[in-house]
Amino acid sequence: MIDTKLAPYGILLLRITTGVLFLVHGLTKLLVFTPAGTMGFFQSLGLPGWLGIVTMIIEIAGGVALILGLYARAVSFVLAFVLFGAAVTAHLSNGFGWANENGGWEYPVMWGLVQLAIALIGDGAKALKPTLPTA
């Protein structure tokens, strides 16, 4: 049974927490690794370099959208696949545990499943622009 009074605030916590994490990861790619470094890393994985820039933009914009509650369900759905992509391309070969060298797939898969849960459950409390319900 879902506590309809408190569940929206639980989703709010998940939305803000994951939004901040996405924002930090995207800004790290931008300000620390730099766009050129991010592109180089993606190329080292056998991916096109431009995908690093797209990922960086999605992480920053998606993080802000989650924090503010702008179409959070749709944004979470997209971000889930970014995380599943990271798990497969960058972390799968490192094993399960996130504590493994270069991080295993455990963390991005768990985080991706949280994003899918937000997409399924709803925008939560204090969303500025909730995703419109579908028929």
How far apart CA 128 and CA 125 sit, in angstroms, is: 9
Q: Is there a contact between 130 and 105 (Cβ–Cβ < 8 Å)? A: no
Beta bridge partners of 70: 129
pLDDT of residue 79: 98
pLDDT band at 131 (very low <50, low <70, confident <90, very high): confident
Which one has a higher pLDDT value, 94 or 56?
56
Q: Is the pTM of this model over 0.85?
A: yes
Please report the pLDDT score of residue 51 as a whole number: 97
Distance of alpha carbon 105 from alpha carbon 88, whole angstroms: 7
CA distance 99 to 109: 14
* C-beta separation of 80 from 116 below 8 A: yes
Burial label, 68 (beta-carbon count in 10 A; 0-12, 13-18, 19+): middle
CA 2 to chain centre: 25
58 with 79: CB under 8 angstroms? yes
- The percent helix, strand, coil of the chain (3-state, each to 5) is 70, 0, 30
For residue 37, what pLDDT band results from cuts at 50, 70 and 90?
A: very high
